[in-house]
Amino acid sequence: MGNNSCGAHSVIYGKTVDQVKEMEVILSDSSKAYFEEISGKVLEDKISLSNLEGKIYRDVMSLSSKYYDEISNKYSKVNRRVGGYNLDLVHPNSNKINLVNIMVGSEGTLAAVTKAKLNLEPIPKFVGLAILHFKDLVESMEATVATLDEGPAAVEHIGEMIITQAKQSLGFSRNLDFLQGDPTDILVVEMNGNSQSEVKSKIEKLSQKMNRLNLSYAITKLYEPSKIAQVWAMRQAGLGLMMNIPGDEKPIPFVEDTAVSPEKLPEYVKRFDEIVRNNGTEAGYYGHASEGCLHIRPTINLKNQEGIDRMIKISDEISDLVKEFDGSLSGEHGDGIVRGVWSEKMYGPKIIDSFRDLKQAFDPETIMNPGKIFDTPKMGDNLRYGTAYKLKTIDTVLDFTQEGGFEGAIEKCIGVGACRKLNAGAMCPSYMATREEVHSTRGRANALRGVLSGALKEDLLTSKKMLKVLDLCIECKSCKSECPANVDMAKIKYEFLHNYYKKNKTPLRSKLVGSVPKLYKLIAGPQAHIFNFFNKLPITKIFNEKLIGIHKNRELPNISSYTFESWFRKRKANTSKSRGKILFFHDTHINFIHPEVGKSAVKILEAAGYEVEIADRKCCGRTMISKGLLDEAKKNVDFNTDLLYKYVEQGIKIVGVEASCMSSMQDEFPDLATDKSKAKQISENTFTVQGSSYANSR
């Protein structure tokens, strides 16, 4: 409501202002008011009030009469005009008024909304998508114009930058089977109806039109809800995917919400791209093509003055272009500061005076979100980065080269907030449980960035406060795959713990967890029953809780009376027809606790025709890595890298059952190993048992 925003389906549902009917607000003097459409005696009574609410009604009606002609002439007529205030919706000659229209899109500058009454729209019974493929940006805009005559519910553009990043994303690359060939741009056209046949008929008609006009080289038609959801997930993640580009030059949102009439899009986008390229950079494109509103983000480095100057120059030139095309500088996310700096250019001085008068009517003390929409700070002020922004560099054990250092790994978080979702995927379990920002991936990244940038005291980096921020991260790595920017908070936490323990004492529990493979090796075998007996005693559980910090209700595993290794060395291989050798990586859990799982895995692999071998390896290091004991883990990783590479260079795949061990070899080995080339090849040839069956049967 604050921004009068709208989304992919605004071509049929309109903007927020079209769907909000009534609202309760707290005015700047802390009094409460209720806005709805009123007329006649009710309106007269409101006007006669002696309080702030009465003054607002009187002043709004007065400035409507004073400025309406100017507003009618200067306001853009595009559907997506959401900049400024909605003074065009207050008619001086009307006998009714609804101040909801003024509140929506006011960006918190007039009053605070506490309640709102909204329209409800029926959910379409049947939905289908047509994915139109293109090799050219402008051609996709030409196709947009052609689609609008067919009555789509949405026409969304996804550009080359997002498509490229999606192909490289862990979370999205596996769900891109709707793409045909190698498009630079696609249009996602949604059709809905009361029956599946109606939807299919609409999509078929559109498809025939595209073929006739020779605008799209391929069309994918989707009707299955799960497949449709995958497409929308990619579109919704567009911002995060674009921001995942490495380096300091990022697609920045400073001209991202411009809107023009859809029929002008081809020429407008062509001219827009020329401005961007003439300024020595490129841009990512995506957005609501059906409404002529594209989120266009030029890549800019805002950490140096050259980049800041380039941003201001491009913004100035784009505002001229928007005005030339009778468009709106803001087509979705409001003006704020970044677009508010051009308000006088877009509207003229008289309309800015009307904005000031409106602000004065609602907020005479100027306490409600000042400096937004008009009379804003300069564009180069209040930057998140800027020339003074410097991050403290941290020496790391893990290799953060790909992320641009430890600080670069933190800066990958751009605040999208996908880690705050509650009803899909696995990210972020600690936020799902606590509903607290500090326990989200974003909250942790912001806390660390605050220290490294100097916004918070440097000694907080290795403080108990920061440990508390990171503590509930369970290192599941869901953020690495589900976050659009692929923030790897688990990796960040490993390194944080390593640095924390250099300044603070390593807890006994962390030392014991890191030493689990060594401890189990001492216990496993015929003497294991002694440990298992004492392990179950109540006094032992109380001791574990008091001394180590393991809850007394937590059952520790029983250690096996024999090891997997001892069974494997004695067993008789059962391979009549070999498909080749395979190295089975027997993890600590299999070797000392559940050797029967390893036995079953070997039997499965042999039944599949593989000749199974094991190696005299060390622990993969997962228990040490998870507790930040990276120096100890590195020793194991280097030993295993030299050992396992001998198998890999012979073409032998490495398989295992324990996913956490396999993931450490796939993810952490290349980051920890001294010989990164060998570790990378090991990573590429390591699979879980089920994964190996797929990999070797192709």
Count the neighbouring beta carbons within 10 Å of the beta carbon of residue 434.
Answer: 13
Asked if residue 440 belongs to a domain, the reply is yes
Q: Residue 246 above 80 pLDDT?
A: no
What is the model's pTM?
A: 0.79
Band (547; pLDDT cuts 50, 70, 90): confident
Residues 641 and 626 in one domain: yes
The region of weakest confidence among 206-220, 328-342, 455-469, 680-694 is: 680-694
Counting residues of the chain whose pLDDT is more than 90, the rounded percentage is: 73
Q: Both 469 and 518 in a single domain?
A: no
- Same domain for 156 and 173, yes or no, is yes
Give residue 697's pLDDT. 43
Same domain, 524 and 492: no
Is pLDDT of 650 > 60? Answer: yes
Residue 694: predicted pLDDT: 40
Q: The domain containing residue 237 runs over which residues?
A: 122-244
The structure tokens 């001085």 sit at 349
- Examine residue 91 and state whether it is found in any structural domain, yes or no: yes
Among 505, 539, 574, identify where a domain stops: 505
- Is the pLDDT higher at 191 or at 519? 191
Distance (Å, rounded) from C-alpha 453 to C-alpha 582?
A: 48
Question: What pLDDT does residue 506 have?
Answer: 93
Whether residues 688 and 572 share a domain: the answer is yes
Give pLDDT, residue 695: 41
- CATH number of the domain that residue 158 is part of: 3.30.70.2190
Same domain, 478 and 517: no
Q: When comparing pLDDT for 548 and 371, which is higher?
A: 371
- Confidence band (pLDDT; 50, 70, 90) for 423? confident
Quick check: 408 pLDDT over 70?
yes
- Smallest Cα–Cα separation from 488: which of 547, 431, 408, 548? 408
- Of the residues 70, 93, 118, which one is the last residue of a structural domain? 118
Encode pLDDT of 485-542 as tens digits.
889 999 999 999 999 999 999 998 899 888 888 888 888 888 888 888 888 888 988 8
Determine the residue type at 518. K
CA distance 623 to 627: 7
**Residue 74 sits in the same domain as residue 142:** no
Answer yes or no: is 231 within a domain: yes
CA distance 477 to 427: 8
Q: Compute the distance between CA of residue 213 and CA of residue 609 in angstroms, rounded to an integer.
A: 55
Q: Is residue 382 part of a domain?
A: no
Same domain as 651, residue 585: yes
How many degrees, rounded to 5, is the angle at CA 587 between CA 584 and CA 588?
Answer: 150
Which of 100, 118, 136 is the endpoint of a domain?
118
Could you read off the pLDDT of 98-139 as tens digits, one per residue? Answer: 999 999 999 999 999 999 999 999 999 999 999 999 999 999
Residues 526 and 582 placed together within one structural domain of the fold: no
196 found inside a domain: yes
Has residue 440 got a pLDDT over 70?
yes
Q: Is the pLDDT of residue 155 over 60?
A: yes
For residue 307, being part of any structural domain is answered with no
Chain centroid to CA 39: 46
Which three-class secondary structure string do you get for 61-113? HHHHHHHHHHHHHHCCCCCCCCCCCCHHHCCCCCCEECCHHHHCCCCCCCCEE
Task: Write down the mean pLDDT value for the chain.
Answer: 92
pLDDT at site 540: 87
The pLDDT of residue 549: 83
Long-range own/partner contacts, residues 273-282 (CB < 8 A, 24 or more apart): 273/137, 275/314, 275/317, 275/318, 275/321, 276/314, 279/310, 279/313, 279/314, 279/317, 280/310, 281/249, 281/310, 281/314
- Mind listing the pLDDT tens digit for each residue in 497-510? 999 999 999 998 89
C-alpha closest to that of 185 among 239, 138, 134: 134
Statement: residue 698 has pLDDT above 90? no
Task: Provide the pLDDT for residue 692.
Answer: 55
Distance CA 288, CA 271 (A): 18
Q: How far apart are CA 188 and CA 131, in angstroms?
A: 5
**Are 621 and 675 part of one and the same domain?**
yes
- Report yes or no on 249 lying in a domain: no
Least confident of 268-277, 434-443, 518-527: 518-527
Same domain, 679 and 585: yes
CATH number at residue 687: 1.20.1050
Residue 354 lies inside a defined structural domain of this protein? no
Tell me the pLDDT tens digit for each residue of 42-78.
999 999 999 999 999 999 999 999 999 999 999 999 9
| Chain mean position to CA 167 | 15
Question: Do 136 and 239 belong together in one domain?
Answer: yes
| 566-594 residue pLDDT tens | 999 988 887 666 788 999 999 999 999 99
Q: Count structural domains, the chain.
A: 5
Predicted confidence at residue 367, as pLDDT, reads: 97
